[in-house]
Amino acid sequence: MIKQTDNWLERNTFHHSAFWDLIKLVEEKEKKGLKISLCIPTLNEEKTIGKEVLILRSELMERYPLIDEFAVIDSGSNDKTLEVAQSYGADVYLASDILPEVGNKRGKGENLWKAIHQLKGDIICYVDADISNIHPRFVYGLVAPLIQRDEISYVKAFYDRPLNYSTGLRPSGGGRVTEILIRPLFSLFYPELSHIIQPLSGEYAARREVLEKIPFPIGYGVETSHLLDLYEKYDLETFAQTDLDRRVHRNQTTNALGKMSFGILQTFFNRLHAQGKLDRMPDLETFYRRFEVEDGHYRQLAQEVVEEERPPMIEVEGYRQRQDAS
């Protein structure tokens, strides 16, 4: 079932430092006549939104004109999120004001979906609002592969969790939901997609022409559904991923992660059902796939995990004899 994925990993996995030359990137973007919109979905993010808007606008619109449009799309914050974002020059929208005829649903996916209608860019880059170590790389690292490689349509971020640095080896270190839920699920049902190192990362950039063709769950399942739907519609070649180094953000409670997992599972099983994978269940994969990075190279580790089973003890002859004797 795995096709040429090692090669994909080499070809379509980048590190943000490869795109440090922003002057060159802007030139390439202009040569191709591309317009890029940046969207930050928000709900009560007054503590981090100011820094994100200030740094990304100043560096990527004023100093290097990589971004053509900068929008904050809000779900109805009751703190100063909008005031702070506006004071640093972002275009601010309430999700409920966009396409009012379709109604208003409250969730991050709603804001991302409505951004497609509101924003004008050929490429839309989504960045979460809760990054406390925001840096321009969070945007240029994601849009650069789309500018440079026409066959790529969707670029996901992945990050470092600086563990085991002293040995030169570090695990891929997704979040808890990624490691406990998504990676095992992908290994079982979509082994090719298990090459996406952090499938739940909230930062990604995509071409309008693919975003407009897929549905958007409004809640926790939006990142998972993007991967499943685009993979089904196109193939792995449509994806790329960029290492953005470290991302510092809020830590979530286990309860919140449970709720998130529940939402993701709904999205996942809906897709399995729609794609006929539940009705005609294939043989389940026995390889669990995870990642390692060594000396800047990404390597997938496939570990066979075969869940062998024993029959009920009552069916074992020796057990029955012992029971009869006693």
Partner 1 sequence: MLFEQTDSETALRPLLKEIPERIELIRQKRDSFLTDAVLLGEIPSPTFGEKERIRVVADRFRENGLSQTLVDEFGNASAELPGTEGQSSILIMAHADSVFSPEVRHEIQVGSDFMTGPGIADNALGLAAMISLPRMLSELNIHLRDNLILVANSRSLGRANLEGAHGFLETMSLPARAGICVEGSTLGRLSYSGLGTLRGEITLQVPSDYDWKRFGASGAISHLTGLINQIREIPIPKEPKTQLVFGGLKCGSSYNTSPRQGSLRFEITSEEDEIIGQMENQLNEICEQFSAETGTRVNMEVVAKRKNCGIPFTHPLVRTTRSIMQEAGITPQVDPSTGDLNALILGGLPAVTLGLTTVENLREVNETIRLDPLYAGMAQLLTLIQAIDQGICDS
Nearer to partner 1, 44 or 104 (CB): 44
Q: Shortest Cβ distance from residue 55 to partner 1 (Å)?
A: 5
Per CB under 8 A, residues contacting partner 1 are 46-48, 50-51, 54-55, 57-59, 62-63, 80, 83-84, 87-89, 132-133, 135, 248
d(CA 70, CA 307): 50
Cβ density class 227-242: b for 16+ within 10 Å, e for less: bbbbbeeeebebbbbb
Q: Shortest Cβ distance from residue 91 to partner 1 (Å)?
A: 15
Nearer to partner 1, 80 or 170 (CB): 80
Q: Shortest Cβ distance from residue 46 to partner 1 (Å)?
A: 8
Nearer to partner 1, 84 or 177 (CB): 84
Q: How far apart are the first and last CA of the chain?
A: 52
Q: Shortest Cβ distance from residue 87 to partner 1 (Å)?
A: 4
Tokens of 60: 């990527």
Nearer to partner 1, 84 or 197 (CB): 84
Nearer to partner 1, 132 or 323 (CB): 132
Closest CA to 206 of 159, 242, 243: 242
Tokens of 2: 């795995």
Cβ density class 194-215: b for 16+ within 10 Å, e for less: bbbbbbbbbbbbbbbebbeebe
Q: Shortest Cβ distance from residue 57 to partner 1 (Å)?
A: 6
In this structure, the number of other CB atoms found within 10 A of the CB of residue 243 comes to: 21
In this structure, the number of other CB atoms found within 10 A of the CB of residue 171 comes to: 14
Q: Shortest Cβ distance from residue 162 to partner 1 (Å)?
A: 14
Nearer to partner 1, 4 or 132 (CB): 132
- Cβ-in-10-Å burial (0-12, 13-18, 19+) of 62 comes to exposed
